[in-house]
Amino acid sequence: MDQKESVRDITPWDGTLSSSDFFSAACAFSEKWKRFNAFVPPWLWVPSRKHHLLSSHKEEGYLSLEGMCLIKSSEEQESCRSQTWKEESSISQEEEAVDNATLVCICDEVNHYDFHIVYSPSYRVPVLYFRSYHSDGQPLPFGEIEKDLPDHSAKIRSESKWTFITQEEHPYLNRPWYKLHPCGTSEWMKLLFHGDTALNKNGFVIEHYLVSWFSVIGQVVGLKIPLGMLETLSC
């Protein structure tokens, strides 16, 4: 072991990822999502080479989950959600997967949501971008989006500095999208991993980074992590 490796091994991890680590984390997250969330659309990797000067890693791009709609947990909406899924799947096994997974479904007559997980070169952390639109393609103003968000979202955003929502240009699409600001992400990621000193220790942090991150950030927009994915964090 040379001196640089020795110093790196004892340097406390700052909660961030390199662009290549983000790609590895994204692949791991996408695979886990498909494994434990088989009856909802997958997160797909969208390659992009736009930011040549910001990253030397050949696999530049972002994760995408599109065409979803948020369903609140009221009795009426739970009934509608169950009926929607029954029409698209065989009953018992898939119902259980939906209940344990995420409050989303594919819909025709409601507000649609697209979600992207994008790497921020300046903060060196993932950022959740999202947009919403009617079935005719017209974008929703934020006032309407707030009505779709879970009831606890406003409370979380008012109490936590890292969950405020801003509207900015999507770094790859060059169109206005909403995003959850990443200013405090590295700090609470350090807390989630208990200040592990070695980021690449057995690859654990990289493999589980986005699962841990999304278990927190997804709550703000009503997306839940499947229980099976969370259980992998203790393995």
- pLDDT of the residue at 224: 83
The band of 211, judged by pLDDT with boundaries at 50, 70 and 90, is: very high
Buried b (16+ CB within 10 A) or exposed e, 5-28: eeeeeeeebebbbbbebbbbbbbb
3-state secondary structure of 30: helix
Q: What mean pLDDT is predicted for residues 63-76? A: 72
Contact between residue 168 and residue 177 where contact means Cβ atoms under 8 Å apart: yes
Distance CA 37, CA 97 (A): 7
In tens, the pLDDT along 12-65 reads 788 999 999 999 999 999 999 999 988 888 999 999 876 554 445 557 899 999
Could you give the C-alpha distances from 142 to 34, 72, 165, 211, 216, in angstroms and in order?
30, 17, 10, 27, 21
Question: In whole numbers, what is the pLDDT of the chain averaged over residues?
Answer: 76
The residue with greater pLDDT, 194 or 51, is: 194
DSSP summary character for residue 181: -
- pLDDT of the residue at 51: 55
Q: Is the pLDDT of residue 163 over 80?
A: no
Q: What mean pLDDT is predicted for residues 98-116? A: 65
Helix H or strand E segment including 186: helix 185-192
Contact between residue 121 and residue 60 where contact means Cβ atoms under 8 Å apart: no
Residue 183 is a catalytic residue: yes
The pTM of the full predicted model, rounded to 2 decimals, is 0.77
Distance CA 142, CA 21 (A): 33
Q: Is the pLDDT of residue 165 over 70?
A: yes
The band of 6, judged by pLDDT with boundaries at 50, 70 and 90, is: very low
Catalytic residue among 69, 80, 183, 235: 183
Q: Is the pLDDT of residue 129 over 60?
A: yes
The band of 232, judged by pLDDT with boundaries at 50, 70 and 90, is: confident
E strands in 121-175: 125-133, 165-169
Could you give the C-alpha distances from 23 to 26, 55, 60, 113, in angstroms and in order?
5, 12, 7, 23
